[in-house]
Amino acid sequence: MAIWNICCSEKKRVSNRVVIDHIGTSGHGISNISHDSLSVPFTLPGEVAIVALRGKYGKLIALEKKSSERIDAICQHFENCGGCVLQHWHADAYRSWKRQLVINALKRYGIDVFVSPLIEGGYQNRRRITLTALATQKGHIVGFNRYLSHDVIALEECPVTRLEIMSKLNSIKLLCALVGNHTKRFQVTVTSVENGLDVAFNGCVVRDEHIRQQMIHTALAYGMTRLSVEGEILVEREKPLVYFGDVCVEFPAGGFLQATFEAENIMGNIILAYLEKAKNAVDLFSGLGTFTLRMAKKMNVHAVENNETALANLDRAARFATGLKTVTCERRDLFRRPLSAKELSCFECVVFDPPRAGAQEQVRELAKTTIPRVVTISCNPVTFARDLSLLVAGGYTIEKIIPIDQFLWSPHVEIVALLSKRKIKANWKL
């Protein structure tokens, strides 16, 4: 058992016996001790564990009793890597727990509705990862952070990451070794795009022209689409491209994509099916046009986004694409200056996919409207439930809530909610 590199002296020093009650929102086993909750990673409900106490955490040393739902993890790095926390749990129990995360968050805001079964996300489909590179006396380590630590594990495999990325891992390590001659610790973000890999280094400076040329040569030799350091493009074999539906968009360095294409496509299909009769839509927090460009095949869409580069790329893609309805773009900070109810009133439907913090002020304005159909998307059950409660208070009816396992074996979940409004609810306040 590779639990946080437990040393013999610690095993002798501590021997706390706890019973795991349930899995908490962080994916850790929770044990209730003297009215306090102890969080014990890599345990399951019903298990009896020997742990070392570290504040509110219990560091697993051994299991006296194992759950019948415990299975073997499929990755050699599990329990060391900071990515997955639930590979050891049977799929049915895991899926039920992840769906329950959404149910519980909604109930805390007084929303008691049916939540659809979790849509599975699948393996080896994460199309973007951020690796940490660390220079040590023994050489360079490239991988993910060790669990609950700033240490780095040397990555050899990852069952959630796309093969297009993992197959180039050695070439990425070569690039890191070149950069690491000048920087002790830095990050490299690798994104799988339609025409290769976009590789971006951050937290480092490479001024040596010889090193820069070596990096360029390595990137070209291994077929990388683009290589950048701190936003500066060192080499671009061709523009990195992504497709939203059948519309091609240039992917900017540091741009946002849904974690997996599969989940993105599922969400896109849900949106199109629900809004199929609409003629005029607004897409808030549109990004590069993940949903805007799919929707524009059937309706006019007004895209609102604060990131200038993303919006410019969306606009350019829409202008050069064929078969689209009218797409208009507006740069706007929706946190500081949300669209008012009056501004929203000309649209038949709204789609919004805000950051994890949600869109409370924008939702307050939306709730005042009579727009008949709304789709909201979130990867944070807490802010999702909060925003949904404001829409319900404003007279919206929840038609369907669909959780999607875009973040396999993690405590994160993508959620889509479909809402409708048939009349204004009188005498309500936000």
List of domains in the chain: 1-69 (2.40.50.140), 100-121+258-420 (3.40.50.150), 128-242 (2.40.50.1070)
Q: Within 13 Å and on the Cβ side, how many CA atoms surround 102?
A: 27
pLDDT band at 140 (very low <50, low <70, confident <90, very high): confident
Task: Record the tokens describing residue 9, joined without a space.
Answer: 């002296």
The strand pair at 128-136 and 139-143 is best described as: antiparallel
Question: Residue 146 and residue 137: Cα distance in Å, rounded?
Answer: 18
33 - beta bridge partners?
A: 36
Question: Residue 212 and residue 285: Cα distance in Å, rounded?
Answer: 36
For the annotated binding site, the residues are: 258, 285, 305, 353
Q: What's the start-to-end Cα distance of the chain, in Å?
A: 51
- Backbone φ and ψ for 50, nearest 5 degrees, come out as -100, 120
pLDDT given for residue 11 in this prediction:
47
pLDDT given for residue 35 in this prediction:
66
Question: Residue 351 and residue 368: Cα distance in Å, rounded?
Answer: 16
pLDDT band at 34 (very low <50, low <70, confident <90, very high): low
Question: Active-site residues: which are they?
Answer: 379
Taken as a whole, the chain contains a residue count of 430
Q: Are 66 and 50 in contact (CB under 8 A)?
A: no
pLDDT tens digits, residue range 292-321?
Answer: 999 999 999 999 999 999 999 999 999 999
Percent of the chain past pLDDT 90, that is, above it, reads 85
Q: Are 52 and 10 in contact (CB under 8 A)?
A: yes
pLDDT band at 7 (very low <50, low <70, confident <90, very high): very low
- Check whether 424 has a pLDDT greater than 80: no
Q: Where are the beta strands (DSSP E) in 260-305?
A: 280-284, 300-305
